[in-house]
Amino acid sequence: MREYPRRWLAVLLVVCAPLILSAADLPRLRVHEEGRYLVFEDGRPFFYLGDTAWELFHRLTREEAAEYLDDRAANGFTVIQAVALAELDGLNTPNAYGHRPLIEEDPARPDVRDGPKNDYWDHVDAVIDLAAERGLYVGLLPTWGDKWYKRWGVGPEIFTPENARIFGEWIGRRYRDKPVIWIMGGDRNIDEDIHRAVIEAMAAGVRSGDGGRNLMTFHPQGGRGSSTWFHDAEWLDFNLRQNGHAVDFKGYVRTREDYDRTPVKPVIDGEPLYEDHPIAFAAPEHGHSIAADVRRPLYWDLFSGACGHTYGHHSIWQFHDASRGSGVNMPLVTWREALRQPGGRQMQHGRALIESRPMLTRIPDDHMIMPAEGAPTAVPGAGRHRIVATRDRDGSYAMIYTPSGRAFTLRLDALSGNEIQAWWFNPRTGEAKKAERFRREATRRFISPNPGEYLDWVLVLDDASKGYPPPGTGR
């Protein structure tokens, strides 16, 4: 049987999915028994590869949403993160069809009218169904944070614990049978008792409305994670971080901190640095990010224990186009142009790499990396040059991400087998190069195919007796 390139299979999926999938066809998700990863209800691993499309329901038509979702499905994404009560004047600026979500800004009174295309929520229904037809789950935020917390931008603050419970139960019941992942919060922290009360009430309402069918987490501000306030909460199924819009490893080390917490829960970075974003919100000093800047967090997070990853593009989250003036924080391109940016297309390579080896037994293990004598800032490195490692718990494989072409030495005692097969996996193209096969020893020195260059690579070391396929294949 002829083997077709993965990209053509992805295109075929996009073409055929509307014919075979519906919201009811996508399996439910749950947390794996060991608490580290997400799985389908039958126990198969689920790789959460998200995209931040915060204004999806608010700004796009159904046809535009289908265009966007087609691209994301073709590029390996599995989750689309979007907000019901949107950030950018989501209460009073109508959606593409002239509809608003609430009656008189009252969350206890969603504006629902008879007929399939007559209100704001009909449009949300339609877009979630379009995503499901393409095999995509929706990470659904009931509201952005300025609706329950002190503002930046356009509010108003409309939530109390009482109406948050009512709205949560309503929206939970409406989407209980849809393929959604609930994301409480919306870019805000918990600074006062009233903030906690609103979120706890909304989470309880959603749980009541959807009967506990769908996973739930919380989205905080930059540099923070849901674990800070809700790690022990029964409703919090997995921790979600916003590691923020900086380029250095020091922000992304917090993923490992959440991985190490007890009780054990999965962790994911739900908002790292966006592509084409003002770095650290300071473009005059740092410029805008590029593809390399968003690839590094993908591997830093995954190899530090994350169960998946979220990508974002600065023009896509706000669906910027020429009709919207200058946009928010200097977007460089339109949302359609942003779909073609390299960083977004390279995320699928990280997913393919992880899925090409046993996923549910994968652990972080930076101990494999031997610090350079007298210069640990070189190896394992710091800033943009940090090297990180992950491996199979039983030692059948290891993966080491190096952002630049500097030699490093590894401890190999945690690997199994007498012989090791090495590969170099290219995060920019998804291609794997077979390297040397050698007898396992205590330590060994490696250097990437581009010595001294600012080009990232993943070294994959397999127990040769396992006969694994080339990294990034066999999904």
Mean pLDDT over residues 269-289, rounded?
97
Residue 463 pLDDT greater than 70, yes or no: yes
Say what percent of the chain tops pLDDT 90: 92
Task: Give the pLDDT band (50/70/90) at residue 21.
Answer: low
* Residue of 308, 345, 334 whose CA lies nearest to 50: 308
**Are the C-beta atoms of residues 473 and 460 closer than 8 Å to each other?**
no
pLDDT value, residue 474: 75
Residue 10's pLDDT is what?
47
pLDDT over 50 (residue 18) = no
Omega of the bond prior to 156 within 30 degrees of 0, cis?
A: yes
**CA-CA distance, 198 to 215, in Å (whole number)?**
19
Classify domain 362-466 by CATH number: 2.60.40
Q: What tokens were used for 320?
A: 């910027």
User: Which tokens in the block code for residue 53?
Assistant: 């499309």
pLDDT one-digit tens code per residue, 66-121: 999 999 999 999 999 999 999 999 999 999 999 999 999 999 999 999 998 999 99
Closest CA to 79 of 114, 109, 38: 38
Half-sphere exposure at residue 173, Cβ-oriented, CA atoms within 13 angstroms: 10
Q: What is the pLDDT of residue 7?
A: 44
Map out the domains of the chain as residue ranges: 10-355, 362-466
pLDDT confidence tier of residue 170, bands split at 50, 70 and 90? very high
The token pair that represents 157 in the structure block: 């603050």
The residues near 106 (Cβ < 8 Å, ≥ 6 apart) are: 158, 163
Res 16 pLDDT > 90: no
CA distances from 28 to 20, 39, 73, 204 (A): 17, 9, 18, 20
Question: Residues near 237 by Cβ (< 8 Å), separated by ≥ 6?
Answer: 31, 215, 216, 217, 265, 266
Mean pLDDT computed over 155-166: 96
Residue 153: band (very low, low, confident or very high) from pLDDT cuts 50, 70, 90: low
Higher pLDDT: 449 or 11? It is 449
Tell me, rounded to whole angstroms, the distance of Cα 107 from its chain centroid. 28
CB atoms within 10 A of CB 469: 12
Q: How confident is the model at residue 155 (pLDDT cuts 50, 70, 90)?
A: confident
Q: Which pLDDT value is given to residue 24?
A: 65
Tell me how many degrees the CA angle 102-104-105 measures, rounded to the nearest 5.
60
CATH architecture of 10-355: Alpha-Beta Barrel (3.20)
Q: What is the DSSP letter of 390?
A: E
Residue 450 in tokens: 């581009």
Instruction: Convert the pLDDT of each residue in 26-55 to its tens digit.
Output: 999 999 999 999 999 999 999 999 999 999
